[in-house]
Amino acid sequence: MTQHDYTVVIGLEVHVQLKTQTKLFCGCSTEFGAPPNTNVCPVCLGLPGALPVLNDEAITLAIRTGLAINCNIPPMTKWDRKQYFYPDLPKGYQISQFDLPICADGAIDIADPADPESTRRIGIIRAHLEEDAGKSMHDESAGISESRIDLNRCGTPLLEIVSQPDMRTAAEAKAFLTELKLLLTHLDVSDCEMQEGSLRVDANVNLHIDVDGQIAKTPIVEIKNMNSFRAVERAIAYETERQYLVWSETGATIEENPKTTRGWDDGKEQTFPQREKEESADYRYFPDPDLLPLRIPESRIEQIRSELGELPAQTRERLEQQYSIKAYDADVIVNQGRAMITYFESAAEISKDGRRTSAWLQQDVMRTMKERDLEIASFPITSSSLGELIRRISVNELETTRGRDVFNYLLDHPQATVDAATAALGIEAVDTSEIDTLCNELLAANPQVIEDVRAGKMQALGMLIGQAKKKNRNANPQLVRETLLAKINSA
């Protein structure tokens, strides 16, 4: 069978729960994990006669997000009812935004997974506010079929962010989600906890297959039920292969079957067909007559813009320039979040050596965090201690291998200072005059080495450096080497 080239086309729909104190249209708490049906009132229960009143905080968070993902915030937005019957939707409709979303036409730049030094721009079609539905729990164990409804989540504000189908690999989709999550947590608009449902992702995937210059498009599959970014990546990879196989066998294209929904089974690592909601064919959207259209004055948008602060992309650029580190390194640090950026900056201020600080952070610090399952906030070595340690290495007061000893000592003695650590390890600062004397002694005792070095046998120096270490274990080998060379060259 001929293998055809194809392009994977991926668009993502991300539902993000906004971190408001209260729900979108009533005063109930949005707290996660409360006993079922306790955070409810006549409004979110959809009781007859109850009316929605907009929570303005959700508007602020939506605008903040919209600006951060480079969207336009139109001067007027409005509310529409999306209608379908389901027991966790007590009004029989969801208040959402249909044709005038609060954010439109944005983009997010992500690091290109295929080339870490360059970026890819992923378009954002829109982001709109809507109220969440409740939760249905179906228990079909022990031969009974029972459904329970918890309406605590009902009315919680969601921002649905819809990307352009601009991603071409599963890795790009993951990079997009990572960057979006970083941005949203940085902006403090959402917790983005996939496990708690405060971030939910659906992926739309199909293939554009090159058949002798003609493009055959496979039916779009919307993948649901993915509970981690890793799952998103795997599901897209699985779906890519599955769609190619199905197309190879049946030749089915988007013209015959525009779109289907499939779920992701994390255990089996497979997608499976999902029965569509029967009413999904026609939501009969229309403007909600209980809510007035919302006018957003330019001054409000500008106010929120002025309070945005530095966004991750800007931080990367600044770190690159301010600390002379590579784009890749800035990316790694910034992707760890605000606490890591602060840690890095305060360490680098003291070390006066951004590159070395970045290297230590990525190797020693992050490795230890991983091994010991630590957050940077609870890392045993303070940023100032690490900064001081790196400063000493940087100015040759301490050699790197001894520096590692200090690092390890500090890990186990979180209260200790760098001075205390060096003292405890018997590391003493070696004066240059001491090194000078030491080198004179060594050269006097080994005249043959001078000849060898002059003849280009640099390895002869190694022997002297080894002897120097024996005589004084704190002697910095780099300094010894430099001193020896200077003396040989000037003799």
Kindly list the residues in this chain that would bind other proteins in the complex (CB under 8 A). Answer: 42, 45-54, 81, 83, 85, 87, 90-93, 149, 278, 282, 284-286, 289-292
Residues in Cβ contact with 25 at an 8 Å cutoff, skipping those fewer than 6 apart: 43, 44, 52, 53, 54, 55, 95, 131, 155, 291
User: Which residue number, 136 or 363, has a Cβ lying nearer to other proteins?
Assistant: 136
Helix axes 338-351, 327-335, angle to 10 degrees: 130
CB of 415 to other proteins, least distance (A): 55
CB of 143 to other proteins, least distance (A): 15
Tokens of 6: 């194809």
Smallest distance from other proteins to CB 40, Å: 11
CB 481 within 8 A of CB 439: no
Selection from 176, 171, 180 nearest residue 233 by Cα: 171
Q: How far is the CB of 45 from other proteins (least distance, A)?
A: 7
* Residue among 108, 15, 64 nearest 296 (CA): 64
Nearer to other proteins, 135 or 352 (CB): 135
As given in the structure block, the two tokens for residue 396 are 């040759």
Classify the phi-psi angles of 456: left when phi > 0, otherwise alpha if psi is within -120 to 50, otherwise beta: left
CA 263 and chain centroid, separation: 24
Which CB atom, from 121 or from 284, has the smaller least distance to other proteins?
A: 284
**What does the radius of gyration of the chain's CA atoms come to, in whole angstroms?**
30
User: What is the distance of C-alpha 15 from the center of its chain?
Assistant: 16
CA distance 90 to 454: 90
Minimum CB separation of residue 47 from other proteins in Å reads 6
Nearer to other proteins, 272 or 286 (CB): 286
Q: Could you tell me the CA-to-CA distances from 478 to 340, 429, 474 in Å, in that order? A: 31, 14, 12
**Beta strand extents in 133-280 (DSSP E only):** 135-139, 146-150, 157-163, 199-211, 214-217, 220-226, 259-265, 270-273
Minimum distance, C-beta of residue 58 to other proteins, in the bound complex (Å): 14
CB of 141 to other proteins, least distance (A): 18
Nearer to other proteins, 244 or 283 (CB): 283
- CA 173/CA 164 separation, integer angstroms: 11
Contact 218, 250 (CB under 8 A): no
Burial environment of residue 420 by CB neighbours within 10 A (0 to 12, 13 to 18, 19 or more): middle
- Minimum gap (Å) between residue 194 Cβ and other proteins: 28
- Between 44 and 442, name the residue whose CB sits nearer to other proteins: 44
Supply the minimum distance, in Å, between the C-beta of residue 333 and other proteins. Answer: 46
For other proteins, the closer CB: 92 or 462: 92
Q: Which is nearer to other proteins, 93 or 323 (CB)?
A: 93
As beta bridge partners, residue 262 has 223, 273
Residue number, 52 or 155, with CB nearest to other proteins? 52
Question: Closest separation between CB of residue 83 and other proteins, Å?
Answer: 6
Rounded CA separation 409/403 (Å): 10
Min separation Cβ 111 and other proteins, Å? 41
- For residue 289, what is the DSSP state? T
CB 388, min distance to other proteins, A: 57
- Write out the two tokens for 267: 């255990």
Nearest CB to other proteins, comparing residues 147 and 342: 147
Our CB check for other proteins shows the closer of 87 and 462 to be: 87
65 sits in which H/E element:
helix 56-68
Contact (CB, 8 A) for 69 and 103: yes
Beta carbon nearer to other proteins, 294 or 350: 294
